Amino acid sequence: MSLLVSPLANLIGDGHAVDSDEYLDFFEIDENTYPRTYLFLKAQRTILESIQQQIAKLKASKDINLDFVEYLTESLLYSIFGEVFDRAKSLIPTIRKFIDNIDHQNNQVHGMKSNQNRSNNFPSNISISEPVEVQKICQKLLSCAIALSRVFSVIACSLPTKTPDGEDITPEINYTPDINEVLVVCRICEEYVPLSLIESHSKNCAKACESEIRIMSLDDRIEKLQQSIIKIILKPIWPGNKDSCINVLLPMFHVVMLLDKALKAKTSSILDAQVLSVIMTSLHQIKIRIDNQNIESMLAKARELINEKLKVCTTKTDATYILNMIHSQNQQKVSPIIEVTIADFELIKAISSGAYARVFLGMKKKTGDIYAIKVIPKSSLSQKNQIQRILTEKDILLQNENPYIVNFCMFFNDTKRIIFIIITSFSLLNIIY
């Protein structure tokens, strides 16, 4: 099997060493990678089939209950290509626990035989051969599961947080503001910023916020593409026939694993952008050697999404760097507030209560701003027309601005409630100015 050191492996810091004799590098591939991987998978399937035959033979000859071991074996044998590797990884703790139970039973039997030799009260015809045979089968099954789970293990390596020399990659630039300089609150990150820097801060804070929202949307699209590939392309039982496995299944599973790595990139540092760049290069190396428009379009879509995420990650990293430059005097990392929860507000008092909602006077804990908070229990919205009414109300508040009516500010929900954050025009002017 072609085992090379990938660019990603070089980015991995202390505690994430990669054994080049154990892992298949799925970032750098050559023309022999997929054929060798197919032969490896074929060998593992042969081992599982032999385990299945051993179980059947043991059950027939000695009437041993091996239903659980048989279930574990079949769950691997009959998995589809897109799920077998995750399933193998998830079964490892279960198989190990089962082996430990067998060891415990063997120890008990050995102890009982030892007592029998001393007291002659224990039957002399007890056999411990069956647990030993079952244990051998389970050990073989465990080895097979570990081998399958480790084929693409390098993809799951954690991203580094530091450079190889152990220093943070973000340089610190000292900035000492005038002690008498006026500080204002940024309404995006809700941090105090010197008035002289508010324009630059607001511009980059907005960029970072927009980038974060775009990344969330891209991650959702990447995840949906992953699931589509698994359900549509990777649905045959593994490893499939040789041509299909080498030319379609392995390349598309390669795509799925690279997309999974892209989803785990936190897009918070230059190293994350480097990882996305490596993934992008790897996607361009993948070639589908059959004429299938559906598969080609999925591969093209994967490249497009990763390329877009790489661009957004670069924009966010640049904006965050400038923000941290501005705030470096107090060693404070600044990031836009993307998700707001009811815990960010303090409820002062109830203003009104209606048939399906209650309105509270609330204050933002961090800034002290006053809002009207409309809380609607989801249990009161069981009928479809009521849900539509809430969405219509939100749209109306978004579309209209008038100094004599309230203005929509935020909308979010949790497991039990839908929450509107509403602000008066007068308060809105106070916040802006």
- Residue 366: both structure tokens together: 């961090």
What would the pLDDT profile of 8-55 be if each residue is shown by its tens digit? 444 433 333 333 333 344 556 777 888 988 999 999 999 999 999 999
The set of residues, in sequence order, having a beta carbon less than 8 Å from that of 46 and lying 6+ positions away, is: none
The Cα–Cα gap between 239 and 59 comes to 28
Residue 357, domain CATH: 3.30.200.20
Report CA Rg, the chain.
30
pLDDT surpasses 80 at 302:
yes
What would the pLDDT profile of 303-343 be if each residue is shown by its tens digit? 999 999 999 999 999 998 888 887 665 445 555 555 778 88
15 domain-assigned: no
The pLDDT value given to residue 161? 37
What would the pLDDT profile of 276-294 be if each residue is shown by its tens digit? 999 999 899 898 888 889 9
- Residue ending a domain, among 279, 304, 329, is 329
pLDDT surpasses 60 at 300:
yes
117 domain-assigned: no
Question: Helix crossing, 270-285 with 250-264: angle to 10°?
Answer: 170
Residue 417 vs residue 178, higher pLDDT: 417
- Is the same domain home to 310 and 364? no
Give the least confident one: 146-150, 175-179, 291-295, 318-322: 175-179
- Residue ending a domain, among 329, 356, 388, is 329
What would the pLDDT profile of 52-86 be if each residue is shown by its tens digit? 999 998 888 776 678 889 999 999 999 999 999 99
What's CA 79's distance to the chain center, in Å?
Answer: 22
The pLDDT value given to residue 222? 97
Q: How confident is the model at residue 108 (pLDDT cuts 50, 70, 90)?
A: low
- Residue 412: both structure tokens together: 């979010």
Question: Contact, 272 vs 8, CB < 8 A?
Answer: no
- Is the same domain home to 377 and 422? yes
- Is the same domain home to 210 and 272? yes
Q: Which of 129-133, 381-385, 411-415, 428-432 has the highest mean pLDDT?
A: 411-415
The Cα–Cα gap between 291 and 297 comes to 11
Question: Contact, 276 vs 306, CB < 8 A?
Answer: yes
- Is the same domain home to 207 and 232? yes
Between the CA of residue 80 and those of 76, 86, 240, 253, what are the distances in Å? 9, 11, 9, 11
3-state secondary structure (DSSP) of residue 420? strand
- Is the same domain home to 321 and 387? no
**Average pLDDT across the chain, whole number:** 77
The Cα–Cα gap between 391 and 396 comes to 9
- Is the same domain home to 310 and 381? no
Handedness of CA 170, 175, 180, 184 (dihedral sign): negative
335 domain-assigned: no
- Residue ending a domain, among 302, 329, 356, is 329
pLDDT surpasses 50 at 251:
yes
**How much is the average pLDDT of 188-209?**
86
Number of structural domains in the chain: 3
Question: Contact, 79 vs 87, CB < 8 A?
Answer: yes
348 domain-assigned: yes
- Is the same domain home to 310 and 356? no
- Is the same domain home to 355 and 273? no
160 domain-assigned: no
169 domain-assigned: no
Phi/psi at 183 (nearest 5 deg)?
-105, 140
- Is the same domain home to 311 and 215? yes
What's CA 11's distance to the chain center, in Å?
Answer: 20
3-state secondary structure (DSSP) of residue 29? coil
10 domain-assigned: no
Phi/psi at 232 (nearest 5 deg)?
-100, -45
- Is the same domain home to 316 and 355? no
Range of the domain at 281: 183-329
- Is the same domain home to 322 and 350? no
5 domain-assigned: no
Give the least confident one: 189-193, 206-210, 219-223: 189-193
